[in-house]
Chains A and B, each alone.
Chain A
């Protein structure tokens, strides 16, 4: 494969597909988000009463059998159903019929994080209650991280480079960066983004092992990033898929891109040492993304924060932001307060939101958080959406274990 360099057309996003706890479909999600409507509530997907974490963001409107054909549904986890659905929406939004395109130039790169835990739990229950011969064959392909990528590839005949990126909750941005690399090679179009759905007992307990989840029962007070009362985060399911193409390809077929992928940076944190304050390399990810895009900090109109909702991590992020943009120097928002953190889907959904912000000239609000703690020195967009031209939006994402990513999208 040849890597095109200086003359490579810039990558643009031409299609979005959203499956989120506060809205199924891009329009439903976006209007709910601008209205500050939260999708957080008590867990209903299983009897969660006996678990310390009882609030989550569930995609309640989603009926798997309505969106995924029967033969495919039995082979795949709920997380893949959400991914297939979002990918279908994104292709339709982009005006692409995969049958019209060369199969080896269509690529798929999604982020994965939890894998098919709900499917896996059902099969593990059969194993211990009935025996190994009762475990279904599809466990072999349903659980693993690349399953969603693979099923999208098979369904649409996309036989170009396909892969999955696992960087916990930073992966949604890393996947888009990988999509960009593939466009520099032979791909003409990439389906990218991510979804996650791990709201089953096994999945929830696995998430709880980090100790970072909120155990508060009130959905309105359970996830409060940057608030003095922050107490951890609420998990959610869903995510977003995006169609990324070179600007020349997109223009040639008359597509109307949402915006361009202008800069990206990824860093990793040093291993925490005893007796030393943990250090964050998030700031370096931000400056790498801005440098690549040749965009000075004062031209950035909004930062979509990672917003973990854990005081030490909120402080580290706030310091990274204010050290680049100055105290209260840029509007910061966290619409994920309305969805919970979606793992592999979270950063992809934030990226979709950033592009919609550019399209509509409006910054969606952070809900729940009453006031950013003064020490954070953040201009947090709270409660209601804020109007104003948005030409450049920076999305930040961190993954448990030390992943940092920053991605800048710009208008065209």
Chain B
């Protein structure tokens, strides 16, 4: 079964929303909030759009609002993939 990992999200974030100056994306980012990572709401929206295209899962706007951390996004996508 295909799974979605933190490394996948790191690649997507760096590619579509840019790499923040203050945080090392390669580091332990799973439980940091997107705000702490320097990603605003537009950046999260952009990331979600790329995840949907890459993974072929639909992420409704309400779910995007609930994704506060990279780990939360990974968990959501994996739940959808397993469903």
Chain A positions within 8 Å of B, measured between CB atoms, are 69-75, 133-134, 136-138, 140-141
Contacts and interface: CB of A to CB of B under 8 A. Distances in A.
Contacts of B14: 70
Nearest to B38: A71
Contact of B49 (A72, A74, A137, A140): A137
Contacts of B16: 74, 136
B46 interface: yes
Contacts of B61: none
B20 A141 contact: no
A71 B19 contact: yes
Given A138-B46, A141-B42, A71 B20 contact: yes
Interface in B28-55: 38-39, 42-43, 45-46, 49, 52-53
B66 interface: no
Nearest to B14: A70
A136 B21 contact: no
B54 to A, nearest CB: 12
A75 B42 CA distance: 10
A138 B20 CA distance: 16
B18 A136 contact: no
Name which of A73, A75, A141 has the most chain B CB atoms within 10 A of its CB: A75
B45 to A, nearest CB: 5
Interface residues of B, number: 16
Interface of B: 14, 16-21, 38-39, 42-43, 45-46, 49, 52-53
B19 A137 contact: no
A73 to B, nearest CB: 6
Given A71-B21, A74-B18, A137 B52 contact: no
A70 B18 contact: yes
Contacts of A138: 42, 46
What 9 A-B pairs have minimum CB-CB distances, sorted nearest first?
A: A71-B18, A70-B18, A74-B18, A70-B19, A137-B46, A137-B42, A137-B45, A69-B21, A71-B20
Nearest to A73: B18
Contacts of B39: 71
Contacts of A72: 18
B42 A71 contact: no
A138 B49 CA distance: 12
A133 B18 contact: no
Contacts of A141: 42
Contacts of B19: 70-71
B19 to A, nearest CB: 4
B11 to A, nearest CB: 14
Contacts of B49: 133-134, 136-137
Contact of B52 (A71, A73, A133, A140): A133
A73 B43 CA distance: 12
A75 B46 CA distance: 11
Nearest to B37: A71
A74 B17 contact: yes
Contacts of B21: 69-71
Nearest to A134: B53
Contacts of A136: 16, 46, 49
23 contacts: A69-B18, A69-B21, A70-B19, A71-B18, A71-B19, A71-B20, A71-B21, A71-B38, A71-B39, A71-B43, A73-B18, A74-B16, A74-B17, A75-B18, A133-B49, A134-B49, A134-B53, A137-B42, A137-B46, A137-B49, A138-B42, A138-B46, A141-B42
Contacts of A137: 42, 45-46, 49
Contacts of B42: 75, 137-138, 140-141
Contacts of A75: 18, 42
A101 B21 CA distance: 24
Contacts of A69: 18, 21
B40 to A, nearest CB: 9
A64 to B, nearest CB: 12
Contacts of A70: 14, 18-21
Contacts of A134: 49, 53
Given A71-B21, A75-B42, 20 more contacts: A69-B18, A70-B18, A70-B21, A71-B18, A71-B38, A71-B39, A73-B18, A74-B16, A74-B17, A75-B18, A133-B52, A134-B49, A134-B53, A136-B46, A137-B42, A137-B45, A137-B46, A138-B46, A140-B42, A141-B42
A98 B14 CA distance: 29
A72 B46 CA distance: 14
B17 A71 contact: yes
